[in-house]
Structure 1
């Protein structure tokens, strides 16, 4: 598969041949969905917590006679059915993480890249850099490529000025190639790859 290479200012900079095994697959939504679920579950804090019967403050004194009142038998007011009592089967601090095989994660990433390629939502640029860390200048350059909602993937090292300038632009994410992931690819309209990122991805999946 051949993709056109552009500069950040929107000018043409030739073309690049990319691997069909990474960018030319027939996208499987189920694989992409599994990886996104795994990512979101892994990052969930799991710090939600409610107080149980043994944790709420209150007396343990038996407040009603066992027999003779015509009512139910009760021990103390910390029971879940009373106002101010502990919660029955409430949430506890736990990890929501679940396992997903490495091969499925890698395949999900390839299918996410292929989905963007099939939708013509991939732009390859020769490099992303900025002379100075000015948000307005970078925003104007991205506008020339028609980018308002995009994930920008650079090589191993992202240009410091570009990263600082872009982080204040809404809906624009900048990551090094090591940080590329399915969720960030799916949540942005356009995927912008540098030539260095394409080379690194092809080396990674070789």
Structure 2
């Protein structure tokens, strides 16, 4: 697959050939969904907590006599039936993470990249760098390129001026190649890859 390389100013800077083994697969929704479920489950903090009856500080004395009251029999006041008692089957601190094989994760990333390529949602930049960290200037460049809602992937390190300028632009995410993931690719309309990112991806899946 051949794609044109553009600069931030919107000028052509040659072309690049994308590997069909990475960008030319027929996207499978089931594999992509499995990876997204794995990502979202893994990032849940799981710190929600409610006290059960054993954690409530209250007297353990029997509330009233077992018989002769005409009411239901009750013992502890810590039980969930009473106001101020513990909660039955409440949430506890736990990990929500599930397992997903490494090969399935790698395959899901290829299918997500292929999905973007099939929809024509990939833009290849010569490089992601600016002389000055000016948000207005970068927003102007994005306007010329028609990029409004995008994930931008650079090489191993993102240039500081570019990162600073991009962080105040809504619906624009910037990540190094190590941070590329299925969820962020699909939640943005356009995937912007630099030449360094394309080379790193092809080296990763070689």
- 1:6-155 alignment, distance < 5 Å: 6-155=6-155
Alpha-carbon distance between aligned partners in 2 of 1:50 and 1:154, rounded to the nearest angstrom: 43
**Aligned pair 1:203/2:198, yes or no?**
no
Q: Higher mean Cα deviation, 74-83 or 22-31?
A: 74-83
Task: Look up the SS of the partner of 1:60 in the other structure.
Answer: coil
Residues 111-132 of structure 1, C-alpha deviations (whole Å, 9 max, x = no match): 0000000000000011010101
Give me the whole-angstrom Cα distance separating, in 2, the residues matched to 1:149 and 1:138.
Answer: 14
Matched with 1:167 is 167
Offset at 1:199? 0.5
User: Structure 2 length as normaliser, TM-score?
Assistant: 0.98
Query: Deviation of residue 57 (structure 1)?
Result: 2.7
Of 68-77 and 45-54, more deviation after overlay is shown by 68-77
CA distance in 1, matches of 2:171, 2:60: 55
Q: Which runs of 4+ in 1 moved over 3 A?
A: none
CA distance in 2 between partners of 1:164 and 1:181 (Å): 22
Counterpart CA distance in 2 for 1:143 and 1:65 is 78
Return 65-74 or 171-180, whichever deviates more.
Answer: 65-74
Rounded to whole Å, the distance in 2 between the matches of 1:132 and 1:14 is 25
TM-score, length-normalised on structure 1? Answer: 0.98
Deviation at 1:152, TM superposition (A): 0.3
Structure 2: gaps of 5 or more residues: none
Q: CA deviation at 1:70?
A: 2.2
- After TM superposition, the structure 1 stretch with the greater mean CA deviation from structure 2, 22-31 or 10-19, is 10-19
Tell me the distance in 2 between the aligned counterparts of 1:93 and 1:121: 40
Superposition RMSD in Å: 0.8
> What is the Cα deviation at residue 63 of structure 1?
1.2
Q: Secondary structure of the equivalent of 1:54? A: helix
How many residues matched?
A: 206
Look up the match of 1:156: 156
Deviation at 1:172, TM superposition (A): 0.4
Deviations 1:72-97 (CA, angstroms, capped at 9, x unpaired): 21112111111111000100000000
Gaps of 5+ in 1: none
